[in-house]
A and B are shown apart, each in its own frame.
Chain A
Amino acid sequence: MTDHNPEIERPEERVPKRVIGTPPAATERAVLGEDKPAAPAVVAGVKPQDPRTVRKGERLAALCFTITFLAGIGFIASYVIFQVGDLDGTAASNLALGGTLTLALLGLALGMVVWARMVLPKYSVVQERHVMASDREVRSDVAEKFAQGVEESGFVKRKLLRRTLLAAVAPLGLAPVVLLRDLGPLPETKLRHTVWGEKTKDGKPLRLVVEGTGQPIRAADFNTPGGLLSVVPEGYEHDLTVLAKATVILVNLRPEEIKSGTNKNWTYNGIVAYSKICTHVGCPAALYEQNTHNILCPCHQSTFDATDGAKVIFGPAARPLPQLPIDVDAEGYLIATGDFPVPVGPSFWERGDAEAEYRQKGGQV
């Protein structure tokens, strides 16, 4: 069966003589050696297909592969032809590139399935399984060798060695944890304040400005009852970390609608300011229903009553939205007269019942 002699390629002197106990030279067990393998006998569980099916399969698969060939060329052509940059161009390019890619992949996949199903024989080959566990002899041998290794290493006998080793690695193991300390500053009391408690450079209270445009708001201009505005502190319009705590919603109510939950001293002509940051997990409570004066957080549907100190009337939030004390300055613009009385946003471990503490001091929240 030998088609050509391996000795020709590997002259005698290069092949070492086999020493007893060593594996045979590689040429004798080449994976798909130079020898032509013996034709296998009919293998159990392998049933060839009907020749007509095979011929049909071959033609079908070839057709699929041809489609892939063409679609692949189409893909490259589309890349060159369709330019991106404007919306229509991007859409056309996406369609052309994606369409040809999909077609190419689909053709290849279909061709291969046809090949597997119509050309390959039908298989029902049986292979034996063996229990996963190694046999008793192997196990006891392993145990013996391990015991021997432990004995030789002296890890059990030499206490000083063992204990100093353990002591040595303990601080080293902590080192990576210590290294992570500078990931961030400590919380301290940062969560208890917002910039609304600060003053401008000339010592004036911060004005409320419209989110997005940055325009200050004249109380006289925000006079339609039922109106709603999203406002931010002046000078911080683009500081996202400030906005994450200090964003406020302004609601305009008729004075007679305001109930006892709202601190009326902190309102101006029916304008009430609440933190926009939901007390549940901090999404902006951005939806407002004019008829019911409900403020709704779109994330988890916590619902607050704007007329009654933004107390929770539905949903998972457990606390009202804190109210911001507001007034107008000499020019008639809305300003904050101080910070929120309590921390805004989601609850945290160190927060405590800030509302109760504030009430104890005589305030109204």
Chain B
Amino acid sequence: MSTETGNRPETAEIPKAVSGPSSYLDERIGAGNFIRRNMRKVFPDHWSFLLGEIALYSFIILLLTGTFLTLWFKPSMGHVIYDGPYAPLRGVMMSEAYASSLHISFEVRGGLLIRQIHHWAALLFVAGMMAHMLRVFFTGAYRKPRELNWIIGVLLLTLALAEGLTGYSLPDDLLSGAGLRITQGVAISLPLVGTYVSFFLFGGEYPGEDVISRFYTLHVLLIPGILVALVTAHMVLMWVQKHSQQPGKGRTNMNVVGGPFFPSFALKAGSYFLFTFAILAGLGTFAQINPIWLFGPYTPADISAGSQPDFYMGFLEGSLRIMPAWEINVLGYTLPMSVIIPALLPLGLVMTGLALYPFIEQWVTGDRSEHHVVDRPRNNPHRTSIGMSAITFYGLLWLLGANDELAANFHISLFAITRFGQIAIIVGPILAYIITYRMCLGLQRKDAEVIGHGVESGVIKRLPHGEFIEVHVPPAEDIEAHMRGKTPIPALPDGSDEKGIPPKGMRGPLGRLRGRMSRTYGGEKIPMDQPHGDDHGAHEEIGEHEEHAAVGATGEGRSLDR
């Protein structure tokens, strides 16, 4: 019982069941060196570091539940007459894919549960990735040396969308067919190659009889194979580079502070996996998702009103919906702009922007150093504003993907919502940029004030001349350390000579733009030790104090301690 009481815990003897195999392995692959270095590898603790884990665990659950589903699913578009237990569809002609999906749902014990867990896990997989990506973006955790892992992450997100699209087409019900039809309509609109892409994908004219089996191969083999490889690479890089950490007491760019992999992190990660699984199992049990039997088999002649894709496809749906009609006919060829633009522009803008951001930022700031302590979003206002702008852009498109639902549920004119969307998609991101930028500066001022003046103590004091003031005390040590983790954003050196001529490479239009962007993006907007962000300086002189006291109750954030 010394482990519970003593300061010097005695290590228990290693049981034979562990020492035997581990020696066996070490003698053959020399695992000892690796394990010695890594068993107590330190993982920093912060709630935001767990978002990516949700995606990882959802992916594992997707692989497990997906394998289960393949045991019964028949990826075939051959016609069968349904004679299963679901009475409303008995005698109806349908594809084998749809019939086998119904079989899984109604005739395999646990089939419906696993199907629903699989679908929920797919949603959580993408949602987890998005949340994780936003965390990495807003804290600047993508900076050197983690740019490669960021690129892998963008690839993962893109592939996850493709994996989702191929997946929800497989049951071949009326709803999934609507998604497939839109996919084909977009593919065929591509200039020059569109008809060929469509004919090669569908084995001829839409829908043909090939697409389900082709999507099946993509969905269960090709894309997950690449996903597994990329996820592995993502983990290995994270492991090798060690996790980034939040600014705080004792945390620097040259260390990592937290708990050891074994036993602390392993135990927490294991329980977190089980939590994710439990939530998904609970959703699969209590929250119905994609009740395919209600939709009926797919036919290109029918559709149900209010058809909605899975949430991660909503932004594409929205951009298709708000695009005004526009088609160009030149020299006997057609450019369906009202399909090409909304299908490719937002996706291209978001994904390319994400992939390039670390490199653009490096180009603007000229920063080539390693960063292991992440930024608080407020401390890089332009980055945060760009991110919020992108979220607004994406979010508006996503919302407008449900313009018919909004119209029906809130009794607003559908046309009015669409018109609003066409304007908001331009104005919204600009407004978001401005508002976020102001908020960031405001929050920085607040931090500077806390550092400069301390925090309100709740103690009211009466001064000799009768004024009441609240006594301020210095902030708690850990909070102050967290705040003081702020570093100025790097910027290019001015480098102009005495005549004001910029250095070589900065003289052309691109160079001048780079210089201007660097000055705007970089630098320290609100210095920590200038509480008002102006030239007041520290408030140590008594004269200044008295001046403030004279201002009376309107003055804020004053301290007796300084």
Chain A residues in the interface with B (C-beta under 8 A): 3, 23, 26-27, 29-34, 36-42, 45, 48, 51, 54-55, 79, 82-87, 90, 93-95, 97-99, 101-102, 105-106, 108-113, 115-116, 120, 123-129, 131-132, 180, 183-187, 190-191, 211, 230, 232, 238, 240-241, 243-245, 247, 276-277, 280-284, 286-287, 298-302, 312, 314-319, 345-353, 356
The 7 A-B pairs with the shortest beta carbon distances in the complex, nearest first, are A281-B185, A98-B285, A112-B271, A109-B274, A123-B259, A318-B327, A105-B278
Q: Which residue of B lies closest to A132 (CB)?
A: B145
Q: Which residue of B lies closest to A297 (CB)?
A: B303
In this complex, how many residues of chain B approach chain A with their Cβ under 8 Å: the count is: 129
A123→B255 contact, CB < 8 A: no
B321 to chain A: which residues have CB within 8 Å? 300-301, 315-316
A318→B325 contact, CB < 8 A: yes
The reply to whether the CB of B152 lies closer than 8 angstroms to some CB of chain A is: no
Chain B, residues 353-387, CB within 8 Å of chain A (1/0): the string is 00000000000000000101000000000000000
Distance A23 CA – B28 CA, assembled complex (angstroms): 13
Q: Which residue of A lies closest to B320 (CB)?
A: A300
A299 to chain B: which residues have CB within 8 Å? 178, 181-182, 303, 307, 320
Q: Which residue of B lies closest to A52 (CB)?
A: B4
The reply to whether the CB of B512 lies closer than 8 angstroms to some CB of chain A is: no
The reply to whether the CB of B106 lies closer than 8 angstroms to some CB of chain A is: yes
Residue among B300, B372, B415 with max Cβ neighbours from chain A (10 Å): B300
**Nearest-Cβ distance from residue A131 to partner chain B, whole angstroms:** 6
A276 to chain B: which residues have CB within 8 Å? 301
A241→B204 contact, CB < 8 A: yes
Q: Which residues B270-299 have CB closer than 8 A to chain A? A: 270-275, 277-278, 281-282, 284-286, 298-299
B23→A32 contact, CB < 8 A: yes
The reply to whether the CB of B332 lies closer than 8 angstroms to some CB of chain A is: yes
B206→A244 contact, CB < 8 A: yes
**Nearest-Cβ distance from residue B397 to partner chain A, whole angstroms:** 13
Interface residue from B192, B208, B273 paired with A241 (Cβ < 8 Å): B208
Chain B, residues 187-223, CB within 8 Å of chain A (1/0): the string is 0111111111011111111111110000000000000
Interface residue from A45, A284, A316 paired with B301 (Cβ < 8 Å): A284
The reply to whether the CB of B232 lies closer than 8 angstroms to some CB of chain A is: no
**Nearest-Cβ distance from residue B15 to partner chain A, whole angstroms:** 9
Q: Which residue of A lies closest to B304 (CB)?
A: A298
A245 to chain B: which residues have CB within 8 Å? 205
A183-B201 contact given A123-B259, A244-B300, CB 8 Å threshold? yes
B30 to chain A: which residues have CB within 8 Å? 23
Interface residue from B19, B111, B264 paired with A123 (Cβ < 8 Å): B264
Interface residue from B26, B190, B277 paired with A349 (Cβ < 8 Å): B190
A282→B185 contact, CB < 8 A: yes
Chain B residues in the interface with A (C-beta under 8 A): 4-5, 7-11, 13-14, 18-19, 22-23, 25-27, 30-32, 35-36, 40-42, 79, 85-86, 93, 105-113, 116, 145, 178, 181-182, 184-186, 188-196, 198-210, 241-242, 250, 253-260, 263-264, 267-268, 270-275, 277-278, 281-282, 284-286, 298-307, 317, 320-321, 323-327, 329, 332-336, 338-339, 342, 370, 372, 403-404, 414-415, 418
**Nearest-Cβ distance from residue A143 to partner chain B, whole angstroms:** 21
A38 to chain B: which residues have CB within 8 Å? 11
Interface residue from B193, B260, B282, B320 paired with A316 (Cβ < 8 Å): B320
A42→B7 contact, CB < 8 A: yes
Interface residue from B19, B108, B182 paired with A32 (Cβ < 8 Å): B19
Q: Which residue of A lies closest to B84 (CB)?
A: A85
B25 to chain A: which residues have CB within 8 Å? 31
B254 to chain A: which residues have CB within 8 Å? 128-129
B281→A312 contact, CB < 8 A: no
A281→B11 contact, CB < 8 A: no
Distance A287 CA – B324 CA, assembled complex (angstroms): 20
A112 to chain B: which residues have CB within 8 Å? 267-268, 270-271, 274
B281→A318 contact, CB < 8 A: no
**Nearest-Cβ distance from residue A294 to partner chain B, whole angstroms:** 11
A48-B9 contact given A30-B32, A298-B307, CB 8 Å threshold? yes
**Nearest-Cβ distance from residue B344 to partner chain A, whole angstroms:** 13
B333→A99 contact, CB < 8 A: no
A127-B256 contact given A316-B339, A319-B327, CB 8 Å threshold? yes
A315-B325 contact given A98-B281, A120-B267, CB 8 Å threshold? yes
A106→B7 contact, CB < 8 A: no
A99 to chain B: which residues have CB within 8 Å? 285
